[in-house]
C-alpha cells in the first residue's frame, strides 16, 4: 500500500516538472499575445509549480502521515484548474493553440488522473478512520 500511496506524489512531480520548466523558459508560449509584463507573472507561476514539486518530493520519499494526506488533498485541488482549462478549450474548439506539452485532450486526461490519485490518497485515510456506525 505504501507504493500506491506515494505514487500520486511522483505522478504530480513528473507532470509538473516539465510544465514549470516550460513556463519559466518559454513564457511567451503560454498566452496567445502576451504583454512583456506577463512574463514575470508566468515565471513566478513556474517557481510556484516547482515549489509544489519540492513539497510533493518530501512526501514521495518519506513516510506518509496525516500531513502528507492533507497535502495530497491540497495538490489534488490544484489539478482542477488545468482540468477545467483543458475542458473549456475542448468545448470552445480552442484546441489549435498550445500543443507544446500535448494539447488540451492530453492535459484533461493526465491532470484528471493525477487529481483522482491524489484525492484518493487524501480521502481513503478519512474513510478508513471514520467507519459508518449504525
At 84-109, the pLDDT tens digits run 999 998 898 875 555 566 788 998 99
Cell numbers for 92:
470552445
First to last CA, the chain: 29
pLDDT band of residue 56 (cuts 50, 70, 90) is very high
Extents of the domains making up the chain: 2-129
Give how far Cα 61 sits from Cα of 14, 64, 91, Å.
14, 9, 38
Give the pLDDT confidence of 39-49 residue by residue, as tens digits.
889 999 999 99
Say what the pTM is.
0.84
Amino acid at each position: 500500500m505504501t507504493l500506491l500511496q506515494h505514487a500520486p506524489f511522483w505522478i504530480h512531480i513528473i507532470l509538473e516538472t516539465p510544465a514549470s520548466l516550460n513556463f519559466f523558459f518559454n513564457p511567451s508560449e503560454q498566452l496567445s499575445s502576451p504583454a512583456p509584463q506577463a512574463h514575470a507573472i508566468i515565471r513566478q507561476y513556474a517557481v510556484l509549480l516547482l515549489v509544489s514539486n519540492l513539497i510533493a518530493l518530501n512526501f514521495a520519499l518519506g513516510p506518509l502521515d496525516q500531513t502528507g494526506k492533507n497535502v495530497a488533498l491540497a495538490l489534488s485541488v490544484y489539478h482542477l484548474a488545468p482540468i477545467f482549462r483543458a475542458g473549456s478549450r475542448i468545448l470552445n474548439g480552442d484546441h489549435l493553440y498550445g500543443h507544446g506539452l500535448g494539447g488540451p485532450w492530453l492535459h484533461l486526461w493526465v491532470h484528471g488522473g493525477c487529481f483522482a490519485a491524489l484525492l484518493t490518497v487524501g480521502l481513503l485515510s478519512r474513510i478508513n478512520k471514520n467507519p459508518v456506525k449504525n
